[in-house]
Amino acid sequence: MPKKTGNVGRGRGTPPKKASKPSNRDSSYPDYDAQWRPEDAIVEEGPDVLQPSKLAYRDDARGLYLYHGDCLEVMDHLLQKHPQGVFDLIFADPPYFLSNGGITCHAGKMVKVDKGAWDKSRGPELNHEFNTEWLRRCQALLKPNGTLWVSGTHHVIFSVGYAMQQLGMKMLNQVTWQKPNPPPNLACRYFTHSTETILWAAKNEKSRHCFNYADMKRANGDKQMKDVWTFTAPKPDEKRLGKHPTQKPVALLERIVLSSTAPGDLVLDPFMGSGTTALVCSLLARTCVGIERDSVYLDLTLRRLDSATFNLTVRINVFVGTQNDLELASDRIDPIPAMSTEGAPKTDCIFHESKFVFLSCAQVSQASVVHTTVDVTLQEAWAHAPDGKKRQTTHIVRCETEIHRLKSS
Ligand SMILES: C[S@@+](CC[C@H](N)C(=O)[O-])C[C@H]1O[C@@H](n2cnc3c(N)ncnc32)[C@H](O)[C@@H]1O
């Protein structure tokens, strides 16, 4: 299966992806080193090094750089190269410190909460010390206008919020992620836990952070988006390549990345787990650096990224005709000639649609849409159009979309 995908998955008009470059937003800070280089995160063996880091996956086409290592050490190393910050956005889903012998309900059974040794609490002081240490590094690695998102439950989030304040970060939002179908509370002595908190903060009070307000409003039916987001836990399809005990839903990361970055921005996930952030960045044309200490989860990330290499081809054929074409010689507008597939891999067509857009267009500058329809042929589309719309129509645009998947053999 090919690893590299070229431009597949990028939005229309998205600029070709490059390694991060200083954006205009940061022009008031001219002297920081914003050039990302994959080798900057490689920690060599040394007397004080706990775990040398390795570049486990590199895909320059998709802008993905994944490291097997300890995030504190890797971030220290990055800071030597980029003392004034290099990331536009950091998403951190740290250990929640909740694997301490409690019980929960999983697949209808009572089980102990045990996400792994990495998730055990070492007591409030040591937990806070750890949180402060990784947050300090994240803050330093943000570009002047970069922002940090951190998820957590009550086991960790108050310590994270307090450390953010101690470090002088600027709190932007406290988002509540609400899960519509949480597991029941088996003890029946508490309300059912159905939310997680996600704190959004900027590097410091001077930051002029990126917020794609209009996009969020549009995504919310043209109403201002609130700070309570409803997403289900990852669906079975998101776990079909293997399980991580605290995997985040793709939709949640999409919301975060879309709300606070631009295409081509550089994103860091220091606790990458199953690679949800990297996957979303690859789909949304953001460059992503991920760090994970456990090779089992890193392998899962690689499987997810490989499967996200789209084996799909999208062809869009557009034909513009005048109404006269329809009346005088309908075969000129219908059918559209097939695209050349010479040299292309064998594919199955899994979707085909012909959309007809009827335009009133005496002059191009006055063009307006009078009617649209999805039909098989132009003749059918014309026959189904209301008479009043037909009278206004001067031009018809036929947009034909086909989605093909690669044949497996
Ligand atoms: C809460 S999970 C992240 C889950 C992830 N957001 C996802 O969607 O799959 C935290 C991850 O951080 C890793 N981890 C814990 N301490 C680490 C450290 N010091 N450096 C790097 N990774 C670490 C754990 O192995 C675990 O996979």
Residue 25, pLDDT > 70, answer no
Mean pLDDT in residue range 23-35: 49
Mean pLDDT in residue range 198-223: 96
The SS3 call for residue 225 is coil
How far does residue 40's CA lie from ligand 1's centre (Å)? 21
Residue 34, pLDDT > 70, answer no
Ligand 1 proximity of 164 Cβ (cutoff 6 Å): no
Length of the chain: 409
Ligand 1 proximity of 276 Cβ (cutoff 6 Å): yes
Mean pLDDT in residue range 276-283: 94
Ligand 1 proximity of 291 Cβ (cutoff 6 Å): yes
Q: Whose CA is nearest to atom 14 of ligand 1?
A: 271
**Which residues neighbour 109 within 8 Å (Cβ) at sequence distance 6 or greater?**
none
Listed range (225-234, 304-313, 316-325) with the worst mean pLDDT: 316-325
Report pLDDT digits (tens) over 144-165: 999 999 999 999 999 999 999 9
Q: Whose CA is nearest to atom 13 of ligand 1?
A: 271
Ligand 1 proximity of 273 Cβ (cutoff 6 Å): yes
Ligand 1 proximity of 246 Cβ (cutoff 6 Å): yes
How far does residue 93's CA lie from ligand 1's centre (Å)? 7
How far does residue 92's CA lie from ligand 1's centre (Å)? 9
Please tell me the predicted confidence (pLDDT) of residue 248.
97
Q: Whose CA is nearest to atom 12 of ligand 1?
A: 271
* Higher-scoring residue by pLDDT: 377, 264: 264
Ligand 1 proximity of 293 Cβ (cutoff 6 Å): yes
- What are the start and end residues of each CATH 3.40.50.150 domain in the chain? 24-307
Q: Which atom of ligand 1 is nearest to the CA of 244?
A: 9
- Integer Cα distance of 325 and 305 in angstroms: 47
Listed range (64-73, 207-216, 310-319) with the worst mean pLDDT: 310-319
* Higher-scoring residue by pLDDT: 376, 146: 146
Q: Whose CA is nearest to atom 3 of ligand 1?
A: 273
Q: Whose CA is nearest to atom 27 of ligand 1?
A: 273
**Runs of H (alpha helix) within 15-85:** 71-81
Mean pLDDT in residue range 247-268: 96
Residue 258 contacts residue 215 (beta carbons within 8 Å) = yes
Name which of 301, 309, 243 is nearest 66 in CA terms.
301
24-307: which CATH topology?
Answer: Rossmann fold (3.40.50)
- Integer Cα distance of 297 and 278 in angstroms: 13
Highest mean pLDDT among 46-50, 193-197, 322-326, 387-391: 193-197
Please tell me the predicted confidence (pLDDT) of residue 12.
25
Token readout for 239 is 């776990």
How far does residue 200's CA lie from ligand 1's centre (Å)? 19
Ligand 1 proximity of 118 Cβ (cutoff 6 Å): yes
Say which DSSP state 37 is in: -
How many other β-carbons are positioned within 10 Å of the β-carbon of residue 198? Answer: 22
